[in-house]
Amino acid sequence: MCSIGFASDAPHWQRLHLGRDANAQYDFPVYANRDLSQSLPSIKEIIVIQHGIQRNGDDYYMSAMELLKDSGRNPDEILIIAPNFPGVPDKTKGFDNMPVWSVQGWSGGENAVSGVYPTSGLSSLTVLDDMLLMLSSKARYPSLQKITVAGHSGGGQLVHRYAALNHVDEKIRQTGLDLKYVIANPSSYLYFTAERPKGNGFAVYDQEICPAFDDYRYGMQHMVSYAGDVNGDDLFRRYLQRQVIYLAGTADNDPNHRVLDKSCGAEAEGPTRITRARGYWKYEHYRAGELSLQMHQRYEIVGVGHNQGLMFGSQCGVQLLFGTNGKASGNAAACNTIAP
């Protein structure tokens, strides 16, 4: 295992050995502020912080550690983990003998394209399953009370799909753990029907404009293999019972942003990230009808664009990661709570 950086020096990743099936195990790189090979009885909260399209888990880890330092929380009680999905261009990072994903395939839950894995494929969503099941172990973390899975941009896309599709949420919460997902500034959202925003309402999108508008990762057609045989209505009802928080920067409004998804499936959701975020929140209300939306929350971060440090370092971002006792910096961006 690699050594671990605890201070402000460049962090070093650790090699996790994952996989519930003895015949389908694999190694995976993460950055963390504690040695994950040891039992950690003092840990009360775990924050999984997911990188974006650059697959720069080290940067996200360092940013989260700075927020932890400034928050005033006891660092001995909080475990920060930043997964780092190896991509095809990452040959110089030392992620040897590990599964490898396409540059963006990991963000949607696609299978690894190469690397060491003894079965037909390993979804990035399965990696999160395996990781959360390991982290929720009472033997390893007897004092653990809460797990927060947070992602920004491409990481926000992954966390959103994971919150909707994963197979372990209920199992983990049944142990008494608080499990929540924080989704910040993703390029697109997963719709549970073929309807998309239109005017002040919703309508089935015109397939002549975009024949594949309802394909996964935007809709329910041609789902990733991880999802199995799913029904959009059933999936949505289950999703409403999971603790999901959306964050959107009000200045993330550039329709030509260099890493904005500009495919026609994404454009069917709106021209910019903030527009897509607002449309999806309205869609949840539209689809929910009489069903409760109390498990879902949404905040707009005032004046912030596509910047993970400012999003998670905002007044509400710090409290979502580190609890109501977490202290944001004096110049932290304000948050508008969007009514349920």
| Closest CA relative to residue 163, chosen from 144, 74, 172 | 172
**Token pair belonging to 308:** 């993970």
pLDDT-above-70 percentage for the chain: 95
Question: Per-residue pLDDT averaged across 183-199, rounded?
Answer: 98
pLDDT of residue 9: 58
pLDDT of residue 7: 41
**Token pair belonging to 35:** 């040695």
Look up the pTM and report it: 0.95
Average pLDDT, the chain: 93
Residue 4 confidence (pLDDT) above 50: no
pLDDT of residue 5: 39
pLDDT-above-90 percentage for the chain: 85
pLDDT of residue 119: 53
